[in-house]
Amino acid sequence: MRTAVVLIPGDGIGPSIADATVRVLAAAGAEIDWDVRLAGLAALAAHENPMPDSTLEAIRRTGVALKGPLETPVGEGYRSVNVALRKTFDLYANVRPAHVIVRGGRFDTVDIVLVRENTEGLYSGAEHYIKVGDDPRAAAESVAIITRTGSERVIRYAFDYAVAHGRRKVTLVHKANILKYSQGLFLEVGRRIAAEFEPRGIAFEDRIVDAMAMNLVLHPEVFDVIVTTNLFGDILSDEISGLVGGLGLAPGANIGVHAAIFEAVHGTAPDLAGKGVANPSALILAACMMLDHLGDGARADRIRAALEATIRAGHQVTRDLGGTATTEAFTDAVVAALRPPASATSDAGGRRLAGSRDRRG
């Protein structure tokens, strides 16, 4: 049965890496009908709106989208397109996996999945200027809103993810030693949910964010699933990407009740646009997360294996990976590395949570 998916190519290098990703999925036999829509600068040029209603309606209809990097137009009246998508579809959980593909560097055993609360905290948009004397912008205030409901659903998602993927530990990151109300609420909810999952073999710990940042670069191998609030997750997710090679290898998923949007989390790289040298790995890996979400995990694993084999071989890789290959040559190599599934290999059939590798078995 074919599945309709919205494809937002994005800006800068977005169209190039989107084309590469579509090629790889087609070569793997993914049965997807792409509904191509615009957002960001491309949408502003075509529709005078960086987030057209037609794009939003398409996502509502399909419930699934794959998105390249978007650029928010500079100027008054335009908010972040990415934040707007999260708010519009209440995409409360941002899932960022990071694992080592090429061994022999500083870290060989990093395999972390970070689950970030995606709609609250300091990014909730509750901010204003404060007038003092004649200066209407003498001070500014941003409010970190953390709710029990928002905390509950993202922390529970992280624990459900751990169970579904055979992972063994969840680390909750916070700053409750200083922000005793807002961060304290997040920690309180986390401890209660952790007690529910303890009989299912999921260990739990909590760490203060500054100590966590240090330990991630000293001993990243001890962490498994991490769950945290919006701002901390934004920062730490880029840190764990840096442990395994950078944002060029970093996919992400934004999960809600009624929609899921999968993306390359790097920027638009306008200096590389149109040159045919961009690395499509992050978007290909995001597409694999999308296939997991759609219950096509076996195909996702085949694509991951082909991509990782191509990168490890090092013969046809883009310059950010130490090679000289074009985007097209790299994609050709990934397609060539794809192997037909063994007859005994089949998907479990169920819809599993979006993510990376499974540690069961």
Positions marked active-site: 123, 175, 210, 234
| DSSP letter, residue 121 | B
Please tell me the distance from the alpha carbon of residue 335 to that of residue 333, in angstroms, as a whole number. 5
Helix-helix angle 297-313:327-337, to 10 degrees: 120
Q: Distance of CA 216 to CAs 65, 95, 224, 243, Å?
A: 31, 17, 11, 8
Q: Please give, one letter per residue, the 3-state secondary structure of 190-223.
A: HHHHHHHHHHHCCEEEEEEHHHHHHHHHHCHHHC
What gap in Å lies between CA 18 and CA 234, rounded to an integer?
A: 24
- Residues contacting residue 121 through CB under 8 Å, at least 6 positions apart: 144, 145, 146, 229, 230, 231
Query: Distance between CA atoms of 241 and 290, rounded to whole angstroms?
Result: 19
Q: Which helix (H) or strand (E) holds 164?
A: helix 148-164
What residues pair up with 112 in beta bridges, in sequence order?
98
Strands (E), 68-213: 93-99, 111-117, 127-132, 135-142, 169-174, 203-208
Asked if residues 49 and 84 have their Cβ atoms less than 8 Å apart, the reply is no
